[in-house]
Structures are given as C-alpha cells and as structure tokens.
Amino acid sequence: MAGPLEGIRVLDLSAVLSGPIAAGMLADQGADVVKIESPDGDTSRRIGPRKADISAMFLAANRGKRSLVLDLKQSAAQQIVRELAQRADVLIENFRPGAMDRLGLGHEALLALNPRLVYLSISGFGQTGPNAGERAYDAVIQAVSGISASHRNQISGDPQVLAAALCDKLTALTAAQAICAALLARTRTGKGQWVELAMLDAAVSFQWPDAMYNHIWLDDAPPASPEFGVSQKPWKTSDGYAVASGPQPVEFAAMCAGFGRPELAKDPRFASVDGRFRHAAALREELDPQAAALDTATMLERMRTQNCPVGRVNERHEVLADPQVLHNRTLVEVDHGELGRVRLPRSPAQFNGTPAAAPGPAPHLGQHAADVLAELGHDAAQQNAWRAAGVLGPAPAFPKSSVPTTPR
C-alpha cells in the first residue's frame, strides 16, 4: 500500500495555498493528484526562494502532484477537465463564486457527468451573501473572523495580522477532513456531493472554543471571563525565551516551585484559573524577575524537574535541530532531481496499517501533460495540435527524465 488514499484520484484546480495544501495532504496519503494550472502557473510559484519555476512555497504546498497546464477560457480545455472529472473521485477548486459555472465546470454540470464525484468549493466568504463576490486573502479573513483582534500586540494593544497564512492553512485542514468525510459517505450512498467551504466559516469555527468563549452562552449567561490567552506570553530568560504553563493546580504549583516562588501557589489571587487570568499582570510582576535571572537551559531543567509543562521558544532555524523533531523524523529529505535535495515535513498522521511513502517532489509547470492526456486516450498528435492552438501550455521546460516522479 502507498497510503490510505491509494487509488483515489484528485483533480486540483485550486491555487495559492488553501486548496493546494489540502490536495497536498491527500497526495501525502497516497492519492493521485493532478494539478491544473493556468499558462502563467500558480501564483505561489513566485513566492519565496525559488529555483527554476518552483518556489519553496509552491513546493511545500504541491508536493507529490502532477501538473497539467490548460487555458480554461478555451472550450477544448474545458472538455479536457470534464474528461478528467469523469475519472476523478475528488475535485478541489477555489475560484470566486460563479466562475466555475461560467466555464461550464460547476458542481451541477460535473456531478451530472460523474455522480460519484466529491466536488469541494473553497471561497473566501461563502457562495452567496453580501461579501460573496469579494476577493479574500488570508489577512482579510484574519481581520473579519476576529483572529486579529484575538492576538493583540502585548505592548500597544493593537490588533495584529499574524505573520503566517493561518486562515489558508486551517481552511486546508478543514477541507481535507471534509473530503475524507464525503468519500466515506460515498461508500454508504454510492453518491458524491458538492461540499462548500468558506475560509471565514473555517476561521470563525477555529476561534470558537477559546477566543470566543465569552460569546457562547445565550440564556442566563454567566459573567464574562477574562479573554483566553491574556497570560499566554513567553517568559524572557537571560538568553532567550521559554514558555511554561500551569492551568491545572498541580501544574501551577510546579511552575511556581520551578521559579523558586512556591508560596505563590497559595496566594488567593492565583488560586484558580480564572483568578490567574484576572490577575495576570500581577502574576507576571512576581515571576518575570525570576525568569530573567535564569538562562533558558536552567529554566527548562528546573521546570522539568518539577513536572511543569515547558518548552523553549525556538527560532525558525532552531526547529530543524530540535531533539524531538529529529526523533520524530518530522522532516524528510526529498531528491528533487536537477534542483537538488529539499526538506519537507512528512505526513503528520502516521498510518501503521497503510503507511504512506515520503512526500514526492513538486511538479514543474506542465511537467506531466503528456502522461495525463495519454491516460485519457489523447495521442501526441492531438496534444501537439492543442499546444499550437494554445489550449495546452508549451512543452515543459525541463525534460521529464531529469525530474523524479512519484510512483503511481
């Protein structure tokens, strides 16, 4: 077996991050993913450090896929997508609402051709509604969903846009789970379905258990609590930062002991989680000097001796050498042919019964056109005619033999 999704065919018409990451996760788990790109290629090919036509961002989000370039404005290209959809189990798209219908490739049209198809549409705000037609990027969804307001600057109090595409990635996780749920439902009903996913909905749902807990109760609402995370701040040591946290009474006592202030565990202000939230500033005044007097290694040792949850704040490059990351083999090296070796995360979920192979390389633009179209029965002459008409992108810039492909 090559993973739990071996034999599942995915047609990825999405771009940038949310859809491509979801499809990349399915590829990690054994699915055969064909990525359809415009003649200009996915925008993410041009974001981040790059070799040839593959950037680091594109590589991480599109590992293990095959690439086919189509000009979807042309009817022949639309027909090729229909043929691929007839053979596919899953289609992922993140065009703006209505765009796929205008191309004749909407969910109704393709489900009529292939009733077993799971057709996932990702949008920024939803398929309908006052903002449905607006462009949406990660930072915009962070703002509207309340994520920015939930992560305020510790000094100024200003809302912040997190320096990571959080909403794209949590939408991707939601999408991958939804696709697998729809595939499971298909085993029971024999039918596929249209799955709608708005980035806004995924982000608000992500916020709800903690950042929005003061907005859950409707009837006889209890008094509001301090916002979750009010005390979620690293401790500054003499040479870096570490996080030590103690939500449980025994853990809070362990943290106080680790800082050499065991008496604080009995202070009435800090006797409960709610009290520690309400008096977070006072607690920091008591313990910040204790942290500053320790180097990070000593703080980690003292907290671990007390059995207090603790972790060093790793700079990004330090994550690569973290002992647990190394032990888990979280990161793997992949041979990317003439581009050299690259470092990628393996599939986080490890399937002992159906283990997946290491992630495959990301495709060059249009690299697998010949193979994908041959599988549909279109010979080289037809492909050349389509290239001449601009239906297909130009011949791949890199010889197929020079780039490893993921075994199928």
269-325 per-position pLDDT tens digit: 999 999 999 999 999 999 999 999 999 999 999 999 999 999 999 999 999 999 999
Q: How does strand 50-51 pair with strand 90-93?
A: unpaired
**pTM of this structure:** 0.94
Please check the confidence at residue 407 and state whether its pLDDT lies above 60. Answer: no
Residue type, position 336, single letter: H
Residue 126 — very low, low, confident or very high, per pLDDT cuts 50/70/90? Answer: very high
Q: pLDDT digit string (tens) for 172-186? A: 999 999 999 999 999
Residue 128 scores a pLDDT above 70: yes
pLDDT tier at 27, thresholds 50, 70, 90: very high
> Does 168 qualify as catalytic in the annotation?
yes
- Residue 319's identity, in one-letter code, is V
Query: Would you say residue 117 has pLDDT above 70?
Result: yes
**Does residue 404 carry a pLDDT above 80?**
no
pLDDT for 403? 46
Length of the chain: 408
Q: Which of the residue ranges 253-267, 274-288, 394-408 would you say has the lowest mean pLDDT? A: 394-408
Name the nearest CA neighbour of 113 among 69, 93, 83: 83
pLDDT of residue 405: 46
Q: What pLDDT is stored for residue 231 in this prediction?
A: 77
pLDDT, tens digit (0-9, with 9 covering 90-100), for 344-377: 999 999 999 999 888 999 999 999 999 999 999 9
Residue 297 pLDDT:
98
For residue 399, what pLDDT is reported?
57
Average pLDDT rounded to a whole number, residues 136-152: 96
Distances in Å between the alpha carbon of 60 and those of 129, 169, 175, 261? 33, 12, 17, 45
The residue type at 347: S
Compute the mean pLDDT over every residue in the chain, rounded to the nearest whole number: 95
What pLDDT is stored for residue 154 in this prediction?
A: 83
Name residue 343's beta-bridge partners.
333
| 207-255: pLDDT as tens digits | 999 999 999 999 999 999 998 887 789 999 999 999 998 889 999 999 9
- Whether the per-residue pLDDT at 53 is higher than 90: the answer is yes
| Res 400: pLDDT | 54
* Percent of the chain topping pLDDT 70: 97
Catalytic residue among 28, 32, 138, 168: 168
In percent, how much of the chain has pLDDT > 90?
91
* 155 burial via Cβ count (<10 Å: 0-12, 13-18, 19+): exposed
**Structure confidence at residue 395 (pLDDT):** 85
**pLDDT confidence tier of residue 402, bands split at 50, 70 and 90:** very low
Mean pLDDT of 64-77: 98
